[in-house]
């Protein structure tokens, strides 16, 4: 019988794992097996898995602070836990470097963790003034280097494509104008520029939200990393292995949804206008556990505002 999970894995006031009970329900890490938490963060899912059976966990994160934080868990769970620094896009390589070919389950939380947002020095938050960084790891261009060097068109394209902000051109123009006067170095500077450019009253969402999201996605190469980890999961899951992904915005969720539908044969054509599609049966590598996206309960949203935009999708690896 599983324990009650939300309180079990509530490490500190700054971080509550999203949809943890649903994650366990679909991942099923009951008594044994090896599971990969590709986005360790503050260990919410990892702890839930370890507390609800005798499974082992390989936890991965490219944030060195998360790796440092996890050392306390290594003492608690001993040989059942391995915490490794790296990007989940290389998940299959990381797992195989541990001497393993296949695993029993993989879970991903594609959101930014609360500790990252609440640390102003990381530069993720438009509400806390700090260096305009946004890197989840320590390598690559910062958001500040990005906004101070690329063209107006490139900025507009990023904000439109990854932030889906209809004010993208206006915001890009304002950023270019501001950086001619001085470099944009802090999150506060950028948030003020966006707010002045958009000039709308907001009640539910800060005008800078979508711009910050778009820059963070590009700085961390999140879309390419997501595509790589989906492919990696297909390679290293055992037949019957479970794959659970929690997304927080529509761009990522659409990529996950389409990948799982394609790999499960759910996108196969059945139209009478396209009979040729029926001649070659789809070799499905995944079976969808639930065809509809799983959303958090009202109670969880009330208890944890971070959960309000969460969307969970889950599938089982076939023997193909």
Domains of the chain, CATH where assigned: 5-115+222-317 (3.40.50.150), 138-219 (1.10.150.170)
275 pLDDT higher than 60:
no
Q: How confident is the model at residue 201 (pLDDT cuts 50, 70, 90)?
A: low
**Which helix or strand (DSSP H or E) is residue 56 part of?**
strand 56-61
9 pLDDT higher than 60:
no
Q: How confident is the model at residue 17 (pLDDT cuts 50, 70, 90)?
A: confident
pTM of the model: 0.87
pLDDT in tens, 73-91: 998 998 899 999 999 999 9
Q: Higher model confidence: residue 14 or residue 26?
A: 26
What's the token pair of residue 219?
């700085």
310 pLDDT higher than 50:
yes
DSSP 148-213: TTS-HHHHHHHHHHHH--TTHHHHHHHHHHHHHHS---BHHHHHHHHHHHH----SSS-TTHHHHH
Alpha-carbon distance values, 288 to 37, 236, 240, 315 (Å): 20, 17, 12, 4
Residue that has been written with the tokens 């932030």 in this structure = 163
Residue 291: which of 268, 262, 259, 314 has the closest Cα? 314
């Amino acid at each position: 019988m599983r324990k009650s999970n939300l309180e079990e894995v509530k490490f500190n006031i700054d971080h509550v794992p999203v949809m943890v009970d649903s994650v366990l329900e679909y991942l099923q890490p009951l008594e044994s097996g090896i599971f990969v938490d590709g986005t360790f963060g503050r260990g919410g899912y990892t702890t839930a898995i370890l507390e609800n059976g005798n499974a082992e966990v390989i936890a991965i994160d490219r944030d060195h602070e998360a790796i440092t934080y996890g050392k306390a868990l290594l003492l608690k769970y001993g040989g059942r836990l391995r915490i490794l620094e790296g990007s989940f896009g290389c998940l299959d390589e990381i797992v195989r470097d541990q001497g393993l070919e296949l695993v029993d389950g993989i879970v991903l939380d594609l959101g930014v963790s609360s500790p990252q947002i609440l640390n102003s020095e990381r530069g993720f938050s438009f509400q806390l003034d700090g260096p305009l960084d946004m890197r989840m790891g320590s390598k690559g261009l910062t958001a500040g280097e990005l906004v101070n060097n690329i063209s107006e068109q490139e900025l507009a394209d990023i904000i439109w494509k990854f932030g889906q902000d209809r004010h993208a051109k206006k915001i890009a123009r304002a950023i270019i104008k501001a950086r001619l006067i001085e470099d944009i170095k802090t999150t506060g500077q950028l948030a003020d520029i966006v707010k002045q450019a958009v000039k709308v009253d907001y009640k539910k969402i800060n005008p800078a939200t979508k711009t910050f999201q778009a820059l963070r996605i590009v700085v961390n190469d999140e879309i390419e990393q997501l595509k790589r980890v989906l492919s990696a999961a297909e390679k290293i899951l055992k037949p019957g292995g479970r794959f659970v992904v929690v997304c927080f915005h529509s761009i990522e969720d659409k990529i996950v949804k389409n990948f799982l539908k394609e790999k499960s044969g759910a996108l196969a054509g059945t139209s009478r206008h396209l009979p040729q599609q029926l001649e070659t049966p789809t070799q499905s590598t995944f079976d969808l556990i639930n065809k509809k996206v799983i959303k958090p309960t009202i109670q969880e949203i009330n208890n944890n505002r971070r959960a309000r935009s969460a969307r969970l999708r889950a599938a089982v690896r076939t023997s193909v």
